[in-house]
Chain A
């Protein structure tokens, strides 16, 4: 009775059928191929299961006997994180101005962006290994690593904030005949200050996390304590350290969240 169609298909996300099915096939082949060629040695895995059991039975109950060592390691991590945050921010501010397209001239801008990209691209652990080789084991290498890590994050977001500023204030300053530096101080710094403080607190939190990791490759802090415990098969002490790290991370995340909310 009705002339209305009785079939309907959802319009596909990719209109071109060749491209669509091509993409499906490529994805499927990739997943199947990489999964199939995974070198899973099941003997090794079953062997590993007993090993895992040994690790876990060795780890329970966690051993807090060497709480002093744990505390020292943690305090060192905290110091590394604080110094790296301060140092990182001190470097980030000029770098952010260099990398803001509305402030810096082209060559300076490119240089600033390049430094930020390089700082961001390398995982802190890789940076830490290089620094450990260059300046020796210990917290100094850790602090340098986290300065680089902080710069990559803080300078990038700060540069983006500077690019968003209200340029009217800068023009007003220029119209009043102000020099370059006073313009920065009066027209731009106040606008980016809240963001800078927020980023600093966030970065302190993530530096604390990262310092637990870079220690594993010899850059000091609680991570070094953990790596030592793991290396000496003190799994119960390693578990105690891990529990403390997780606890501290949760607390510091909560604190930094609250502080940032209060400031914003």
Chain B
């Protein structure tokens, strides 16, 4: 890469000795860590060697999928879609003020900034399933616990990305409206909202897509949706129905991805 007298050298190496040392060190460290993990993990190795045949066996029992319960599966899928959609809608509305106070350039003061950040971090760090466990205990098993759980998890995601979008806006229109003597509220309305609108829609659609996936497992802890039927089928060893449910979930997720990419293209 440098243009010093290289023409007389007959040896070439891609990295300087120090770079090479770092690379080898990195490899060695990785190998060491993997070896440690492998040797100390609490696994019955006989089961591991047996795993492929077990998997094959299970797969064999799943075939062919059994469409007998398809109507109730589809109903549960519809419920799943509703959980994801409603939870996303509510979370979008709730996340707006959170994003507003968690963005450095719009927050009213330091106190609100930290309240906002606390909400975002606590929402994001606790997984949907754990939220669902909690809300099933409060609301009882069913779709409501699922909606609230998904919503709680989504607020952090939406609020963080929206807050970042607010922090990255172009200051110039804001300056222009300040010079016009517009109030704070109208500056937000005219100079900030239009700038974060594309991110807003993109993020909401993205989260809806993610929520569709997350909603499929809520039923496993009793929070409604297709997961309930899946859990039931697994508990009764009804493997053909399990595979039917899995196929339906696959169809749902792919459909969701198609819809969300269509919406993204349409809106942005």
Contact = CB atoms under 8 A, between A and B. Distances in A.
A246 B125 contact: yes
Contact of A82 (B34, B227, B254): B34
Given A140-B48, A246-B122, A48 B138 contact: yes
A16 interface: no
A213 B37 contact: no
B51 A79 contact: no
Given A136-B47, A246-B122, A86 B34 contact: yes
Contacts of B47: 135-136, 140
Given A121-B249, A135-B55, A213 B130 contact: yes
Interface string A210-231: 0011001100100000100010
A264 interface: no
Contact of A83 (B41, B217, B220): B41
Contact of B143 (A38, A136, A230): A38
Interface residues of A, number: 55
Contacts of A86: 30, 34
A35 interface: yes
Contacts of A41: 140
A52 B138 contact: yes
Contacts of A189: none
B73 to A, nearest CB: 14
Contacts of A209: 127
Contacts of B43: 138-140
A44 B139 contact: yes
Contacts, number: 133
A249 B124 CA distance: 10
Interface string B35-47: 0011011111001
B246 interface: yes
A77 to B, nearest CB: 11
Contacts of B54: 134-135
Nearest to A132: B234
A118 B59 CA distance: 15
B28 interface: no
A39 B143 CA distance: 8
Contacts of B58: 130, 133-134
B139 A83 contact: no
A129 B220 contact: yes
B250 interface: yes
Interface string B214-225: 101100110000
Contacts of A217: 220
Nearest to B122: A246
Contacts of B57: 134
Give the dominant DSSP class at B's interface.
helix
Contacts of A126: 216-217, 220, 227, 230, 246, 249
Q: Which residue, B55, B126, B217, has most C-beta atoms of chain A within 10 A? A: B217
A220 B253 CA distance: 27
A49 B134 CA distance: 11
Contact of A39 (B30, B50, B130, B142): B142
Given A121-B253, A122-B249, A130-B58, A34 B82 contact: yes
A39 B86 CA distance: 14
A83 B34 contact: yes
B138 A82 contact: no
Nearest to B221: A216
Contacts of B244: none
A5 to B, nearest CB: 22
Contact of A123 (B50, B86, B213): B213
A231 to B, nearest CB: 10
A32 to B, nearest CB: 11
Contacts of A143: 41
A48 B38 CA distance: 44
Nearest to B216: A123
A249 B121 CA distance: 10
Contacts of B234: 129, 133
Contacts of A80: 41
B220 to A, nearest CB: 6
A242 interface: yes
20 contacts: A34-B82, A48-B139, A82-B33, A83-B41, A121-B213, A121-B250, A122-B246, A122-B253, A129-B220, A134-B51, A134-B54, A136-B44, A138-B44, A140-B51, A209-B127, A216-B129, A216-B133, A220-B42, A226-B130, A230-B133
Interface of A: 30-31, 34-35, 38-41, 44-45, 47-49, 51-52, 55, 76, 78-80, 82-83, 86, 117-118, 120-123, 125-126, 129-130, 133-136, 138-140, 143-144, 209, 212-213, 216-217, 220, 226, 230, 242, 245-246, 249-250
4 smallest beta-carbon distances between A and B, as pairs: A48-B138, A79-B37, A121-B253, A246-B125
